[in-house]
């Protein structure tokens, strides 16, 4: 009897196990496959309606966001090999650093407290002439990439030399970049003539065409360092290839005065006159647009990148950012190179932007925390002409996102998400970084870069640079 009962019990258990196995299997079959799920937490979408979703979930497949919904809905609809629990945390779009010169991290702190002309001509150009090589560029780029990932920057726009090596390092680290090879009218480390530079940029743009992380660009340095003929050639190149044009425009009052003297027009009016401006141009600074010029910039669809800390440090002036935003121009935010900032920290840049314009106009409402966050996300994407791909968390966009810790002392308690993000959150609060669907930092650990090796090689360059400029060997 006991044996019979045991057999019956075993049979019943087997049937019930089989039933639940079948149910699980059919659930798995019904579930759509994704590569990565982020479950729980509050999603700050930065979409058109600026929706903020609590206890949400995101499904990611082939580098793109395929669904955003409640955590429960995403969990029941999707299965994935990798799941990240973001409960209690914030999920925000990756930050966009709209203007930098990434290898200049190796010149961090080399020369400070000077105006732009003196800083450039007495220190930076000579230091570059003596030190910039492909190896220098690779080491400085890796240092900058590590700093940017730690700080939650997922896309950056760059202008430097050996930009193909920068693109190579950037792609290997899994970071997104709009990367411009410099065109400048004096011999530089990678190219000695304009013909050489144009041949380089031709190969460079062809090499990266269609890459999912890298947008290769042409970067005529500025209207005061590149001739009219060469600016026109850069524009023609962009027309032919579709490559963006990265440049500096109207950074200082002196640049405007010199331009009026030499060319009979301010930088924007001059560039308009020679047919340079279009909706592929990404113009850093724009501190001194003259009367009526913001209208030209708007009509031409020029992207503008505000660099408040660099402009403050070099005493270049205050760009009329609130007015340009109100007029519907595409304005983003950048750090500029680490030699004039001196870091690549977009949290500081957002905080500075919001506060600079308040103190400058005497109006605390002139640029809100939410607007400052827009500058580093969706508006930054517009300034780089990439708003269809990045800048907000929406279905079909690239999966570039950050998971932000909310348990740091500097974030407690919390009343308003944007205020928390712009005025209280620090780089250290970035917990996990996902770019193009790939986790590049998890729980503060860099997964694509070797931090100690990066520090070591950057310090070797510090010695070489100091020696080349006869600086003391100890700081
Ligand atoms: Zn710059």
Q: What is the pLDDT of residues 449-466, one digit of tens each?
A: 999 999 999 999 999 999
Alpha helices in 362-410 (DSSP H): 369-376, 378-383
Instruction: Report yes or no: 103 and 158 within 8 Å, Cβ to Cβ.
Output: no
Instruction: Report yes or no: 286 and 324 within 8 Å, Cβ to Cβ.
Output: yes
CA of 259 to the centre of ligand 1 (A): 18
Instruction: Report yes or no: 155 and 94 within 8 Å, Cβ to Cβ.
Output: yes
Residue 119 is predicted with a pLDDT of 86
Residue 2 is predicted with a pLDDT of 55
Question: Would the pLDDT of 446 be above 70?
Answer: yes
Residue 310 is predicted with a pLDDT of 96
CA of 222 to the centre of ligand 1 (A): 9
C-alpha span between 373 and 462 (Å, rounded): 34
C-alpha span between 60 and 327 (Å, rounded): 35
Question: Would the pLDDT of 64 be above 70?
Answer: yes
Instruction: Provide mean pLDDT across the span 291-307.
Output: 97
Residue 373 backbone dihedrals phi, psi, to 5 degrees: -70, -35
CA quadruple 424, 430, 431, 432: dihedral sign: positive
> Tokens 């791909």 identify what position?
389
Residue 115 is predicted with a pLDDT of 86
Instruction: Provide mean pLDDT across the span 311-339.
Output: 97
Instruction: Report yes or no: 436 and 60 within 8 Å, Cβ to Cβ.
Output: no
Helix (H, G, I), strand (E, B) or coil at 452: helix
pLDDT in tens, 230-247: 999 999 999 999 999 999
CA of 359 to the centre of ligand 1 (A): 24
CA of 305 to the centre of ligand 1 (A): 10
CA of 369 to the centre of ligand 1 (A): 25
pLDDT in tens, 260-283: 999 999 999 999 999 999 999 999
CA of 93 to the centre of ligand 1 (A): 24
Using 50, 70 and 90 to split pLDDT, how confident is the model at 19? Answer: low
CA of 336 to the centre of ligand 1 (A): 5
Percent of the chain clearing pLDDT 70 (strictly above) = 93
CA of 283 to the centre of ligand 1 (A): 9
Using 50, 70 and 90 to split pLDDT, how confident is the model at 9? Answer: low
CA of 274 to the centre of ligand 1 (A): 22
CA of 92 to the centre of ligand 1 (A): 27
Using 50, 70 and 90 to split pLDDT, how confident is the model at 329? Answer: very high
The two three-digit tokens of residue 242, written as one number: 């579709």
pLDDT in tens, 69-117: 999 999 999 999 999 999 999 999 999 999 999 999 999 999 898 888 8
pLDDT in tens, 379-430: 999 999 999 999 999 999 999 999 999 999 999 998 999 999 999 999 999 9
Question: Would the pLDDT of 359 be above 90?
Answer: yes
CA of 356 to the centre of ligand 1 (A): 19
Q: Mean pLDDT over all residues of the chain?
A: 94
CA of 101 to the centre of ligand 1 (A): 6
CA of 196 to the centre of ligand 1 (A): 22
CA of 121 to the centre of ligand 1 (A): 14
Cα atoms found within 13 Å of the Cα of residue 27, Cβ hemisphere only: 12
Residue 429 is predicted with a pLDDT of 98
The two three-digit tokens of residue 400, written as one number: 């570039």
CA of 251 to the centre of ligand 1 (A): 9
Helix (H, G, I), strand (E, B) or coil at 196: helix
Using 50, 70 and 90 to split pLDDT, how confident is the model at 171? Answer: very high
């Amino acid at each position: 009897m006991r044996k019979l009962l045991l057999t019956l019990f075993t049979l019943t258990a087997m049937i019930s196990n089989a039933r639940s196995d079948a149910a699980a299997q059919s659930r798995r079959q019904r579930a759509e496959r994704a590569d990565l799920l982020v479950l729980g937490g509050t999603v700050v979408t930065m979409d058109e309606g600026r929706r903020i979703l609590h206890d949400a979930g995101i499904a990611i497949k082939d580098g793109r966001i395929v669904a955003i919904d409640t955590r429960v809905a995403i969990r029941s609809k999707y299965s994935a090999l990798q799941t990240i629990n973001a409960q209690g945390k914030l999920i925000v779009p990756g930050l966009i650093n709209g203007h930098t010169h990434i290898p200049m991290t190796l010149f961090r702190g080399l020369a400070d407290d000077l105006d732009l002309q003196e800083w450039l001509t007495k220190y930076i150009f000579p230091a570059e002439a003596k030190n910039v090589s492909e190896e220098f560029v690779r080491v400085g780029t890796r240092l900058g990439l590590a700093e940017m990932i730690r700080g939650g920057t997922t896309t950056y726009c760059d202008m430097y030399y050996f930009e193909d090596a920068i693109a190579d390092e950037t792609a290997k680290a899994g970071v997104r970049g709009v990367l411009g090879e410099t065109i400048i009218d004096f011999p530089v480390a990678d190219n000695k003539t304009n013909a050489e530079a144009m041949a380089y940029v031709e190969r460079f743009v062809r090499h990266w065409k269609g890459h999912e992380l890298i947008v290769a660009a042409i970067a005529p340095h500025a209207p005061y360092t590149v001739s009219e003929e060469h600016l026109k050639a850069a524009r023609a190149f962009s027309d032919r290839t579709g490559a963006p044009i990265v440049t500096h425009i109207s950074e200082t009052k002196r640049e405007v005065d010199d331009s009026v003297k030499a060319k009979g027009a301010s930088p924007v009016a001059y560039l308009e006159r020679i047919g340079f401006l279009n909706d592929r141009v990404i113009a850093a600074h724009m501190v001194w647009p003259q009367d009526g010029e913001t209208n030209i910039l708007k009509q031409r669809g020029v992207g503008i990148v505000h660099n408040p800390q660099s402009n403050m440090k070099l005493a270049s002036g205050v760009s009329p950012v609130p007015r340009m935003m109100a007029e519907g121009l595409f304005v983003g935010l950048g750090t500029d190179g680490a030699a004039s900032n001196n870091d690549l920290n977009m949290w500081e840049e957002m905080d500075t932007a919001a506060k600079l314009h308040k103190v400058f106009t005497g109006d605390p409402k002139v640029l809100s925390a939410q607007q400052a966050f827009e500058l580093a996300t969706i508006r930054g994407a517009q300034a780089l002409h990439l708003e269809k791909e990045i800048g907000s968390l929406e279905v079909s966009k690239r999966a570039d996102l950050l998971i932000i810790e909310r348990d740091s002392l500097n974030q407690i308690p919390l009343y308003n998400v944007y205020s928390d993000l712009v005025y209280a959150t620090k780089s250290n609060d970035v917990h996990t970084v996902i770019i193009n669907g790939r986790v590049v930092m998890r729980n503060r650990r860099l997964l694509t870069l070797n931090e100690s090796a990066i520090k070591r090689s950057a310090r070797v360059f510090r010695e070489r640079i100091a020696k080349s400029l006869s600086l003391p060997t100890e700081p």
